[in-house]
Amino acid sequence: MSTSTQDRAFLRIESVTKDFGGFRAVDQVSLDVARGEIFALLGSSGCGKSTLLRMLAGFETPTAGRVLLDGVDLAGRPPYERPVNMMFQSYALFPHLSVWDNVAFGLRRDGLPKAEVAERVDAMLKLVQMTDFARRKPHQLSGGQQQRVALARSLAKRPQLLLLDEPLGALDKKLREETQIELVNIIRRIGVTCVMVTHDQEEAMMMASRIAVMSQGRFLQIGAPHEVYENPATRFVADFIGNVNLMDGTVDGAAEIRCADVVHRLAEAPAVAQGQPVTVAVRPEKIRLDVQAPSGDRNQVKGVVTAFSYFGDHTVYHLELPSGARLKANLENERRQGEQAFAQGDVVWASWQPGAQVVLTE
Amino acid sequence: MMASPAARWTGRLWLALGFLFLYLPIVALVVFSFTDSPVPNVWSGFSLRWYHALAADLDIRQGLYYSLQIAAATATGAVVMGTLAAYALERFPVFRGRMLFAGMVRAPLVMPEVIVGLSLLLMLVSVQRQFGVPERGLLTIWIGHLLVGMAYATVVIGARLRDLNPQLEEAAQDLGARPAQVFFLVTLPTISQSLLAAWLLTFTISLDDVVIAAFLSGPGSTTLPLVIFSRARLGLDPTVNALAAVLIAIVAVFVLVSSYLIAVRERRVYREQRAARQGG
Amino acid sequence: MADIADSERAARPAPRRLGGGWGRRLVVGVPTLWLALFFLLPFFIVLRISVLEMDGAQFTALFGRDADGQWQFNAHLQSYALLLQDSLYLSTYGSSLLYAAVTTLVCLLIGYPFAYFMARAAASLQPLLLMGVMLPFWTSFLLRVYAWKGLLDTQTGWVGTVLVDLGVDRVLYALGFIPAPGQLMYSPFSLVLGMVYTYLPFMVLPLYGTLSKMDLRLLEAAQDLGATAWQAFWRITVPLSRSGIVAGAMLVFIPCVGEYVIPELLGGPETLMIGRVLWDEFFANNDWPVASAVAVVMVLLILVPLVLLNKSQSGEGARA
């Protein structure tokens, strides 16, 4: 089965399905991942992302479909015969072995000569900056240190595919940001193709070059982070990633959507027939609040501030619209001094550019 | 917890009386092993005469020798079998006959020993009639003890396997270890403490068994409990007290030392973990 | 340690695949073979012998040809008939169940508060208390039961003399627990005392396991909502510790029914226990078919509590 090397994806998931008894965890998903790409499977618990990851690792066998790595079908190959390595969510460091022995474990299974094992382990530890901790046991390490060892261990064998299972899930917020950057740097430096699984959309968007949003065993959308965020394909995707305001309406005229509270003027005509019901999605940060009605061709609606949430760097204002619908608007807190821009009960005008919304049919 | 003083004192009293109840016979055994009186259970001064008698007691020595052999063999066999059975129950997917297997493994735990002993004996006799072997003796006792010991070992080891993070074994596989390698390189070292616990538990149970040994022993394989039992049926014997005191001392030292060592190690691990978290 | 999402785990069958065919067959096969050979097979042999007749040292064949050359199934139910007809056997079964039940109840009455107070003790004290309960467990039970023979002696025993001095023995006699005032040994009293003593840790340990894992906040919430300590205990603590109670009760009841050593050392002529009967039939009377029949009936008797225990254990496993 040979196709030209250029158009052959490095990792190809072909129509893979996984059934557990009567329950379908993964439903005919297909995906191409390019060599050296960092790809994220994003979804909430039970969407099937972990099952898919485990099928890549070899811990589950697909009920249907196949997985090809660099043109080679991985069917029938147990985990210990695949050029794939995984970094587990719980790190799974062997408690009875030192850091050094943990990293050396996989290399020793391959029967490499001692000198080479030592060379590679030292190189790995240097890469993750854990050389000083080589003699320690896992329980003598902090969470972040354990993760670095787990990463070193999973890269030691120079796998063709690296799998990350909720890589930042066990870390606290502060540590997460620093670790994200470090992790991506190391993976890019090695140049290994990487598939990660996460329920945290910030993590996915920050680390991956492409994201697949998964729900109930299916891919809802695949694309670059920017693409998925600004051009969500469905209501679910729009709502899952970040915050969004959703307004139902019908197509009215060439480039207008009539909703309960506002008639949206669009930048271009939507590819939807007249009279069709659609949902308009506007991200809160695209909305501007003014005391007076804004001039110009912005889409606008009048509402009452019912509450606001202060986040330090920005404030989210909750508005109630005439029809009773809610609207959220993010305002950056640019000024250090001074009161909140708006108080509860204020009547304000919320407005956004004609191109700021997305029209969704699903 | 906001317990009232009355509740707290009731608690203390209940625990104290309970422990008194539990330890009274142990204390009595030890005390009366030092009595000078030839009449058992009567105190008439301190003496080590019964310890001398113990040292000279051939039946007890012989019985102890047999019992230790059987117990060691039982414990070792039970740990091996128990590991196999626990692994099959905790790590394998549901296989045909799993319920029956689980039931068979655990049944000796609660079966009255007379039934285990009787049924094994009848079977061994039938086999003996057909094939001439085995003769009743140490081997047959070992078989019976292994049956019961295996049940205990499976429970202890199974509990540890259940708690074990399955991702450890998956990580080992992911890194290239075949299933057998996973077991010997990762699983076994991680559950080693429970293996030791199972060994000691089954050793103790075998050492203490009367009923099964009675059914399955033959001439020339009288275990220590059988010696004690036959004497106890007849009455009290301070030599037995002396033996009891020695065994209790050994057990007490062992339990105290191991508890201390475990506590020390746990405190050290805890301190290291905390230091790691703070040091970062 | 963080673990996979619960819903994802729920979608998977509980234990996981790990290996190739041969190894797997060996791991399951070896214990299975052993158990089949030394557990199942003996049981079937007992069953078989219980329906045979014993003639000297030989048994009648189970299958045989009669005069006409026809195959015959020679199952004799005499042994069972004997058990049913002889009131001694019936009353022995009954009294075994009764003694076991009484022992279980007393163990529960003593053991539950014991486990409860252990679980409520200071956290630093609990390992010590646990060790205190386990230590007697590690010393020979035979020796400790033997010790009671000395303790209960009304002339020289520490407990016996105290009970007689306090006049407790007369109360026990009035209740029918001892055959005569001043005779504490070889009586229902000494038997139950010995069994309670031996099996108390088996009741305390599962109870402690359940009670120590219980969330104290539930009780605090109850008291916050107006319940008194007593109400909180009966309405919350007790029901939540049900699995521990069942486990402890079964761990005491089932072995007690067939106990031999304690009735032999501490029991008397009127404390009929089926374990002793089986022993005597076998060793004294040399009547194997009857002994086998006694065993079969005993197993049937404890089958119900056995199934109950198995169910509650697997229920725990599924919930955990």
pLDDT digits (tens, 9 = 90+) for B62-115: 999 999 999 999 999 999 999 999 999 888 877 777 888 888 888 888 788 888
Could you tell me the residue range of the domain that residue C228 belongs to?
86-319
Count the alpha carbons within 13 Å of C114 in the hemisphere toward its beta carbon: 27
CA distance A185 to chain C (A): 25
CA proximity to A281, closest of A318, A328, A321, A320: A328
Question: For chain C, what is the mean pLDDT?
Answer: 81
pLDDT value at position C48?
84
- Which of B14, B15, B250 has the highest number of chain C CBs within 10 A, making it the mutation to test binding with C? B15
C80 found inside a domain: no
CA distance A60 to A58: 5
Q: Given C11, C39, C73, which residue is the final one in a domain?
A: C73
Model confidence at B279, in pLDDT bands (50, 70, 90)?
low
CB–CB contacts below 8 A, A to B: 75
Does the CB of C251 have a partner CB in chain B at under 8 Å? yes
B102 found inside a domain: yes
pLDDT value at position A38?
95
Task: Kindly report, residue by residue over C279-291, the tens digit of the pLDDT.
Answer: 888 888 888 888 8
Same domain, C98 and C148: yes
Return the CATH superfamily for domain A244-360. Answer: Nucleic acid-binding proteins (2.40.50.140)
Contact B93 C15 (CB under 8 A): yes
Model confidence at B244, in pLDDT bands (50, 70, 90)?
very high
B185 found inside a domain: yes
Same domain, C57 and C169: no
Residues of B (54-83) whose Cβ lies below 8 Å from C: 81
CA distances (Å), origin C162, targets B19, C144, C155, C171: 18, 19, 10, 14
Q: B205, B213 in Cβ contact below 8 A?
A: no
**Fold held by A11-235:** Rossmann fold (3.40.50)
- Which of C3, C6, C12 has the highest number of chain A CBs within 10 A, making it the mutation to test binding with A? C12
CB–CB contacts below 8 A, A to C: 29
Same domain, C64 and C153: no
C184-195 average pLDDT score: 93
Model confidence at C17, in pLDDT bands (50, 70, 90)?
very low
C294 found inside a domain: yes
- Lowest-pLDDT range, A305-309, B113-117, C67-71? C67-71
Out of B165, B181, B190, name the one closest to residue A109 (CB): B181
Number of domains in chain C: 2
Model confidence at A1, in pLDDT bands (50, 70, 90)?
very low
Share of chain B above pLDDT 70, in %: 98
Same domain, C30 and C131: no
Peptide bond into B134 cis (omega under 30): yes
Same domain, C93 and C66: no
pLDDT value at position C64?
58
Task: Kindly report, residue by residue over A310-323, the tens digit of the pLDDT.
Answer: 888 889 999 998 88
Same domain, C213 and C104: yes
**What residue has token string 């189970």?**
C62
CATH of the domain at C182: 1.10.3720.10
Same domain, C302 and C188: yes
Q: Give alpha helix (H) positions in A35-172.
A: 49-57, 99-109, 114-127, 143-155
pLDDT value at position C299?
85
Task: Kindly report, residue by residue over A212-267, the tens digit of the pLDDT.
Answer: 999 999 999 999 999 999 999 999 999 998 889 998 888 887 778 888 778 888 87
CATH of the domain at B84: 1.10.3720.10
Which residues from C are below 8 Å from A59, CB to CB? Answer: 16
A98-112 average pLDDT score: 95
Q: B85, B133 in Cβ contact below 8 A?
A: no
Same domain, C166 and C67: no
Which residues from A are below 8 Å from C3, CB to CB? Answer: 89-90
Cα separation of the two ends of chain C:
16
pLDDT value at position B280?
47
pLDDT of A4 higher than 80: no
Which residues from A are below 8 Å from B91, CB to CB? Answer: none
Question: For chain A, what is the mean pLDDT?
Answer: 89
Task: Kindly report, residue by residue over A118-150, the tens digit of the pLDDT.
Answer: 999 999 999 999 999 999 999 999 888 999 999
C78 found inside a domain: no
Which residues from A are below 8 Å from B168, CB to CB? Answer: 92, 94-95
Does the CB of C142 have a partner CB in chain B at under 8 Å? yes
Q: C62, C51 in Cβ contact below 8 A?
A: yes
Out of A88, A109, A144, name the one closest to residue B177 (CB): A109
Q: How far is CA C253 from the centre of its chain?
A: 4
pLDDT of B47 higher than 90: no
CA distance B233 to C262: 11
pLDDT value at position A306?
92
Could you tell me the residue range of the domain that residue B146 belongs to?
47-233
Does the CB of A143 have a partner CB in chain C at under 8 Å? no
C84-100 average pLDDT score: 88
Task: Kindly report, residue by residue over A14-29, the tens digit of the pLDDT.
Answer: 999 999 988 999 999 9
C4 found inside a domain: no
